[in-house]
Amino acid sequence: MFDGFRQESLDFLWGIRFNNERGWFEEHKQQYLDAVYRPMAELGAQVQAALGEKFPRDALNLKVSRIYRDARRLHGRGPYKDHLWFVLRRPEDPEVDLPCFYFELAPEYYSCGLGYYCARPMTMAKFRARMDADPVPMEKLARRLGRMAGFRLEGERYARPKGDPGPLLEPWYNRRTLILSCDREPDELLFRRELADFVGEGFRQLMPFHRYLSTLYADPEPGRDG
């Protein structure tokens, strides 16, 4: 059962940020396992179970990030990540572009929400086409987000807008990717077991957005009959 993160969790993440090399990590590997990886995995499993009980038809797979960076993408950075996360994602083919729920822990913040790490251009084109064809469902979701405390719409915007569907949908319509995020500085909640309830409740509120976005991949490509 998840009992909260510890000050050691943040101490390790600060440490690996400023000592990002193998020798330091090997000396502190047990701290990483005990204070970061295991509580992250426990939090993910508890939230996954709670969502599965609430939404039994919305199966979600749990994946906890590894601390090791892809050696092909270091680009001069050290071999270890200084922020870790878990995601909950539908179990379709991994090549299918699907949004995921996430929780992320970094030295100076923690965050949870829903979105695409990097949405494919076709996914966003289908998103715009769906709003063009029937804006009402997305308008309801946009208003729902406005009533949700703590969560906000984020994601890179296009340099050149793709269109103007009106003030309510414009912030959604002209983004390269979508993230609905609740970001917090480390506080007492981070170190308590109630964090699992907080994250689970946030995901529960975001489930209508998840269901809407999770079906985009099956839409016909814009300009085609399907």
Assess if residue 225 is contained within a domain: no
* Tens digits of residue pLDDT in 27-53: 999 999 999 999 999 999 999 999 999
Give the range among 66-80, 81-95, 168-182 with minimum mean pLDDT: 66-80
> What does the pLDDT read at residue 76?
56
Of all residues in the chain, the percent with pLDDT exceeding 90 is: 89
- Let me know: does 42 contact 29? Beta carbons within 8 Å: no
Assess if residue 1 is contained within a domain: no
* Tens digits of residue pLDDT in 124-175: 999 999 999 999 999 999 999 999 989 999 999 999 999 999 999 999 999 9
Assess if residue 72 is contained within a domain: yes
Structural domain count of the chain: 1
Q: Which CATH number does the domain housing residue 62 bear?
A: 3.30.930.20
> What does the pLDDT read at residue 75?
57
The burial class, CB within 10 Å (0-12 / 13-18 / 19+), for 199 is: buried
Domain containing residue 14 = 7-218
- Let me know: does 195 contact 4? Beta carbons within 8 Å: yes
